[in-house]
Chain A
Amino acid sequence: MQVPLVLLSALAVGGGLFVFFPGFQSLLLSGAGASGIPPSYGTTDLLLSGASVALGVGGIALAWSLWGNGRVFALPLASPLQSVRRLLLNRYYFKVAYDWIGLKGVYTISRVADFFDRYVIDGAVHGFERAFALASDRLRRIQSGVVSDYAAYVVAGLIALFVLLLIIAPFLVARIGGG
């Protein structure tokens, strides 16, 4: 059981260092592609890397001071660090937080969003569909068979066309300009 853990630890310790080796990005972008996107390590990268390494080394040092060389450590019941112990025993309460945030929070939001998607967004589409069906049902009634009606529609259409071409279009062209 120890051997795989040691191997994984060695990889975890050493693997991250590859980031700082020149040419690492060639794994992602080979040849000319890599030269187009040069690696850059600014202050933020170095601070984050340094903080991560410091935390890791600090954890190892703390564990060694408590359990190194086969020592057995038992925290006294009256110790003020009992709350820290409970935190660690409960794995930082990640599972509780996961249940609350993940299962109760996000899942509830997703169910509400699903309802909104089905009945509001898609409902609006169906509303359009019904509105067009209704409009077309009304519009077909203008086909009355009376010639004077048709003549009136033609005149109205011509007036609309003239307004569009002679007033609206020149106005828009003057406002927004050409190429």
Chain B
Amino acid sequence: MTVPLLSLIVVSLAVGTVGTFLAGKWARWVALGATVVFLLEVAVLFVAYPGWPGYDSALVPGFANGETYSWISVTWLHINYSVGVDGISLVLILLTAILQLATVVYSWEESKRPAAYFGLVQLTCLGCFGVFVALDVLLFFLFWEAVLVPMFFLVGYWGGPQRRYAALKFFIYTHVASIVMLVGLLAMAFYSGASSFDFSAIYASARGLSTVVQTFLFLALFFGFGVKFPIVPFHTWLPDAHVEAPTGGSVLLAGLLLKLGGYGLIRWAVETLPSGFHTLQPLLYLVAFVSIIWGSVLSLAQRDMKRLVAYSSINHMGIVLLGIALGTSLGLTAAVLLMFAHGVVSALLFMASGSVHHTFGTRDIPEVGGITPTTPTLSTLIMVGSLASLGLPALISFPAEFLALLATWNSLAYWVAIPLAILVVTAGFYIWMMQRMLFGPPKGIPAEAHDVPWYEGASMAMLVVLIVLFGILPGLLVNVILSSPIHGFPGT
């Protein structure tokens, strides 16, 4: 008898979430226990993955650990509880488990309604996990929306002075995009004449739609998923949400929520609407290049460390979009690897920003300087995060960005000069930030300033280990990504 592992994980996450909400003063321990169980289950999922190691042709375009149960069935509507994983979702599930653990440990001393805080963190991760495994339109949308609600409360209740404005802005932006996305998904399901809302049924029938229809559907889905990326000009919710969110919220926002957009675009738009994708490829390139340039140039002008990292996220997600837009196996592999890399690196940088705020009472870069002698651990972590984010070799972003640039060169030749030139600006603002904050004469350092507490240091150190591990051995992830249906994409 096959163990329904994915459902087991959904149930254990749900039980962990409810348990945390009810656990009162023991909430952090319940959250930690549920998180460790989640991580172990994901480890089992990895070991049991039939596409590992390497590419298994039997999986294309199928999914491993598939489960399908009829949910709503009337004559004209068939909705299933349908889940499964492939290489892309597996890598992002691993990211979810890692970031849940990192967030729970980092927020260990959260004193403001800890049960609700840790419960909402787990609910966010449950929603993300659901998005990555759902293979039915309605199930996918339910999990997608389930992520919005806890994040709204995390920003709106535990955030900074402008938290309500930021939470509302985040909610309206992403919810409007969700509605357009839902219309696109439903239109795709109904208009293609698919026998059910299952991914496999839509995959089989939507590809046969006319190019014009595919183009309109792709446009709707691109907008829906693009706002989550976020793409320029629909990006202004991101800096506000990041600046106002508590550190744990920023980690989940940058590390996971942005990845939902990338994943959704690959799974539900590029794969199912190849003609529409080809027609709109120039638009995708344009948006990707604009996002890459805009995110990086704007980062240079920021004073707030969190805002700087937020804008650099727009830049990195622009490179992810470029990888997806290329539509080649190499480009898509680079995009997924970069999503994982950005998830880990941005989490580290947002945690470091939070620690800077806890220690010095501000995140304003010109206000603090020469902090290394006072906080050597924090300074080292900021430096590793910054160097990883600017793409230093042997750290995780390097292989991902290298693959993305290689894929761009293969498909677009000299257009690669744009992301390549922007990498210099990216290096510039991170080095400038390090120069001002970490080195030089001490400035703005309170007498009681101390290095990071154990829980903040431990969670960031865990991310550093992963940044180095996958920076040296990216093949561990690339193999898994390659064993997914991306080989069936157009242009590969």
Contact = CB atoms under 8 A, between A and B. Distances in A.
Are A and B co-members of a single complex? yes
A121 B291 CA distance: 14
B300 A36 contact: no
Interface stretch (B27-35, B69-77, B434-442, B471-479): B471-479
B490 interface: no
A162 to B, nearest CB: 22
Contact of B213 (A37, A110, A177): A177
Given A29-B474, A36-B482, A122-B236, A176 B54 contact: no
A154 interface: no
Max chain B C-beta neighbours (<10 A), residue from A32, A107, A125, A178: A32
A30 interface: yes
A109 B301 CA distance: 9
B209 interface: yes
Contacts of B330: 37
A173 to B, nearest CB: 10
Contacts of A30: 473, 475-476, 478-479
B210 interface: yes
A125 B205 CA distance: 38
B329 A176 contact: no
Interface residues of B, number: 38
A48 B372 CA distance: 41
Interface residues of A, number: 27
B297 interface: yes
B233 interface: yes
A125 B234 CA distance: 9
A178 B302 CA distance: 49
A28 B298 contact: no
Contacts, number: 87
A109 B54 contact: no
A125 B240 CA distance: 13
Interface in A122-167: 122, 125
Most buried by B among A33, A107, A114, A121: A33
A114 B54 contact: no
Most buried by A among B330, B402, B475: B475
Contacts of B302: 114
Interface in B394-421: 399, 402-403
Given A31-B54, A114-B302, A109 B236 contact: no
Pick the 7 closest A-B CB pairs, nearest first.
A32-B54, A30-B475, A114-B301, A110-B300, A110-B301, A122-B236, A179-B209
Interface of B: 53-55, 191-193, 205, 208-210, 212-213, 216, 232-233, 236, 294, 297-302, 329-330, 399, 402-403, 425, 428, 473-476, 478-479, 482-483
Interface of A: 26-34, 36-37, 102, 106-107, 109-111, 113-114, 117, 121-122, 125, 176-179
Given A33-B482, A114-B301, A176-B216, 20 more contacts: A28-B399, A28-B403, A28-B475, A28-B478, A29-B474, A29-B475, A29-B478, A31-B475, A32-B53, A33-B55, A36-B55, A102-B428, A110-B297, A111-B301, A114-B298, A114-B302, A125-B236, A178-B191, A178-B210, A179-B205
